[in-house]
Amino acid sequence: MEKDHMTSGHWNHAEGNILVVDDNPENLRILVKLLTEAGYKVHAAAKGSLALGAVERSLPDLILLDIKMSGMDGYEVCRRLKADGRTAEVPVIFISALDDAQDKVKGFGLGCADYITKPFQLEEVLARVRTHLGVFRLKRQLNDKIRLLHHEIIERQRVEAMLQEKHDQMEQEVARRTAELQEKSRHLEEVNQALKAMLDHRDLEKRAIEDNMAANLKKYVTPYLDQMRRTVREEEHRTTLTIIETNLNELVVPIRNSISSKYMELTPTEIKVADLIRQDKGSKEIAEHLNLSISTVANFRHNIRKKLGLNNKKTNLKTYLSTLAP
């Protein structure tokens, strides 16, 4: 028998695909008939080299392999099968007339799954074939599940890494936006403080102008008008003075109405100091704002209390000034 009895290059059978290798035609016929009647898809090869060629074309589920064959013996065939990663897992059952323990040990040492001695019992062959096919299928299913699990683990690790990266990116973005908002908030607070300071300064300047105008009118213009009224005799001139005085009163009254009557006794600088005290500014702040020494500010405080009638009283100056019309 110089060629294998394979009828197809692709093996696919529900019960299993078995390759039988034996150079004895009678043994080959018996085994093929036995296994075929048991429902297996059976292929036969009469030489070791032909068996390797058949396995190269398509993998069987199990191999029944004789040991003593002409040319390449069963041991060499088994060694080559187990050395090839593609065929290493296919179970090999030696079936041989060699029944010495050393022969069996050598076979198992080469990786065979079982060892049947000739003359063989048909039921024994079928029982061992069923057992090792079942083990092979379970092992293959287990390997498939391991590969699937490995793939799932890799995919899960990939997804977890991607989610972690997205999480880190989101945290970085939140931190960046939080820092931006804090910076903008700080900047707005600074702008607000600057605007408030500008408005306060403008109010102080406005008050100072009004105070200076009222004080100068009282100090310089009013006495001069009073003197002219006493010295002028002509009625026409008296009428002119009355018109001037009326116009000045119309100018000064709104300013005086915006200032407490008690303020009218204060000098322009004392009014500025009083306004800053009313705003709860300390002596150091007032000194820096008006470019005065702290001792000078203390003197102004003393004069203000005196002119407001607060000397020898325990009244708080800031509280008192807050009760006056601004």
Full set of structural domains in the chain with CATH = 17-120 (3.40.50.2300), 201-323 (no CATH)
Compute the residue count for the chain.
326
The separation between the first and the last C-alpha atoms of the chain, rounded to the nearest angstrom, is 127
**pLDDT at residue number 202:** 67
What integer pLDDT is reported at residue 9 of this predicted model?
39
Residue 5 pLDDT > 50: no
Mean pLDDT over 244-252 rounds to: 68
Arithmetic mean of pLDDT, 243-270: 66
Across 269-280, average pLDDT: 87
Please state at what angle helix 74-83 crosses helix 101-109, rounded to 10 degrees: 20
Are 71 and 29 contacting, i.e. CB atoms less than 8 angstroms apart? no
300 has a pLDDT exceeding 50: yes
pLDDT above 70 covers what percent of the chain?
Answer: 79
Mean pLDDT of 214-242: 70
Distance CA 196, CA 63 (A): 97
The distance between the two most distant Cα atoms of the chain, rounded to a whole number of Å, is: 168
Give residue 62's identity as a one-letter amino acid code: L
User: Which CA distances in Å does 163 have to 1, 150, 156, 191, 231?
Assistant: 64, 20, 10, 41, 99
Band of pLDDT at residue 262, cut at 50, 70 and 90 = low
pTM, entire model: 0.47
Predicted pLDDT of residue 249: 66
pLDDT at 200: 66
Amino acid 269: pLDDT = 87
Per-residue burial over 207-229, b = 16 or more CB atoms within 10 Å of its CB, e = otherwise: beebbeebbebeeeeeeebeeee
